Structure 1
Amino acid sequence: MNATYTREDIRMKAKELAKMMAETEEVDFFKQAEKKINEHLRVQELIAEIKKLQKEAVNLQHYNKTEALKEVDQKIDALHQEIDEIPLVQEFKQSQIEVNELLQMVSKTISKTVTDEIITSMGGDLLKGTTTKSPYFDGGCQ
């Protein structure tokens, strides 16, 4: 007999999975990198300067000062480039990518497993991704 789970059961399991993921090497490295960035004086100075220039850009845009806006945008781009060249920032961005890949892997695994379970429970063919009982189901949970 198949068990029936409630949305609450699934939500609780998702929370459990999220806690597990929060204790992975990828997430730990991300947290450490973020802490170092928050403590890195030059990075914080650059971020503050970018925010100041962004506010200035909004005002220039509001008053249609296109030449001045172009100049401010170039300064902002240069500051972003300077931040991106800091090794710590590169490590942080890489850690963001790795955490995102972990989340994507979990999402794809859940989606594929749900689809496979539907196909199997309906006597379908996993290789073709179709069920034998419904001509309308085409593996659409992925």
Structure 2
Amino acid sequence: MTTYYTKDDIIAKAKEIAHMIANTEEVEFFKKAEAQINENQFVREKIASLKTLQKQAVNFQHLGKERALNMIEGKIGGIEQEIDEIPVVQQFKQSQMDVNDLLQLVSNAIANAVTNEIIESTGGDLLRGETGSKVQNSTPGSCS
């Protein structure tokens, strides 16, 4: 007999998986890297300068001051490059990518498992990735 699950059952499991992900080495490293960035005076000052320049850029863009905007955008690019070269920022960005990779891995695993279950439950062909109804309708001699 087939067991059916409700959306609430699925959300409960999703929360359980979210809790598991939140307690991985990848997320722990991300939290530590973020804390190091927040504690780093140099990084904080650079980010504050960057935010000020970004506000100026928005104002210059709004006022149509192209030369001033280009100059500010150059400064923004320079500060972004300085920030990106700081080892703790590089570690933070790498940890972000690692967490995103983990989330993508989980998402793909769920999608693939659902697809495979559908194919198997309909008597389909996993190698072809076809459900049972498609396999039955594509056999030679059918009225397609």
**Which bracket does the TM-score occupy, shorter chain normalised?**
over 0.9
Find the aligned partners of 1:17 and 1:98 in 2 and give their Cα distance.
17
Partner of 1:84: 84
Q: Deviations over 1:106-142 (max 9, x none)?
A: 000000000000000000010011122246xxxxxxx
Deviations 1:35-94 (A, max 9, x none): 110111011100100110111111111111111110000000000000000000000000
Query: What is the TM-score when the length of structure 1 is the normalising length?
Result: 0.93
Q: Give the whole-Å Cα distance in 1 for the aligned partners of 2:103 and 2:6.
A: 23
**Is the 2:124–2:134 Cα contact (8 Å) retained in structure 1?**
no
Larger Rg: 2
Show the counterpart of 1:139: none
Take 1:41 and 1:87, find their aligned partners in 2: how far apart are those partners? 14
Match of 1:95 in 2: 95
Do the aligned partners of 2:37 and 2:89 also contact (CA within 8 Å) in 1? yes
Structure 2: runs of 5 or more not aligned? 136-144
Could you say what secondary structure the match of 1:123 adopts? coil
Runs of 4+ in 1 over 3 A off after TM superposition: none
SS in 1 for 2:130: coil
**Identity fraction in percent:** 57
Q: TM-score if structure 2 supplies the norm length?
A: 0.91
Contact 2:84 2:90 in 1 (8 A): yes
Which whole-Å CA distance do the structure 1 matches of 2:61 and 2:131 have between them? 57
Q: Which consecutive unaligned segments of at least 5 residues does structure 1 have?
A: 136-142
Output aligned runs, 1:25-104, within 5 Å: 25-104=25-104
RMSD: 0.9
Which residue number corresponds to residue 21 of structure 1?
21
